[in-house]
Chain A
Amino acid sequence: NAGVTQTPKFQVLKTGQSMTLQCAQDMNHEYMSWYRQDPGMGLRLIHYSVGAGITDQGEVPNGYNVSRSTTEDFPLRLLSAAPSQTSVYFCASSYFGGGTGTLGAEAFFGQGTRLTVV
Chain B
Amino acid sequence: KNEVEQSPQNLTAQEGEFITINCSYSVGISALHWLQQHPGGGIVSLFMLSSGKKKHGRLIATINIQEKHSSLHITASHPRDSAVYICAVKRSDFGNEKLTFGTGTRLTIIP
Residue ranges of A at the interface with B (Cβ–Cβ < 8 Å): 40-45, 48, 56, 58-59, 88, 90, 92, 94, 97-98, 100-109, 111-112, 114
Q: Which residues of B contact A59 (CB under 8 A)?
A: 98
Q: Is the interface of A mostly helix, strand, loop or mixed?
A: loop
Taking a contact as CB atoms under 8 Å apart, the answer to whether A103 and B102 are in contact is: no
Residue ranges of B at the interface with A (Cβ–Cβ < 8 Å): 2, 4, 30-31, 33, 35, 40-45, 48, 86, 88, 90, 95-104
Q: A100-B97, A105-B48 are in contact. Are A42 and B102 (CB under 8 A)?
A: yes
With both beta carbons as reference points, the residue of chain A lying nearest to B42 in the complex is identified as A111
Q: A42 vs B33: C-alpha distance in the bound complex, in angstroms?
A: 13
Taking a contact as CB atoms under 8 Å apart, the answer to whether A109 and B90 are in contact is: no
Q: Which of A88, A100, A103 contacts B41 (CB 8 A)?
A: A88
Q: A56-B97, A98-B30, A111-B42 are in contact. Are A42 and B103 (CB under 8 A)?
A: yes
With both beta carbons as reference points, the residue of chain A lying nearest to B44 in the complex is identified as A109
B11 to chain A, nearest CB (A): 17
Q: A9 vs B87: C-alpha distance in the bound complex, in angstroms?
A: 24
Taking a contact as CB atoms under 8 Å apart, the answer to whether A109 and B98 are in contact is: no
Q: A88 vs B96: C-alpha distance in the bound complex, in angstroms?
A: 24
Q: 15 A-B Cβ contacts within 8 A?
A: A41-B103, A42-B86, A42-B103, A43-B88, A45-B99, A56-B97, A59-B98, A102-B31, A102-B90, A102-B97, A107-B48, A109-B42, A109-B43, A112-B42, A114-B41
Taking a contact as CB atoms under 8 Å apart, the answer to whether B41 and A112 are in contact is: yes
Taking a contact as CB atoms under 8 Å apart, the answer to whether B86 and A97 are in contact is: no
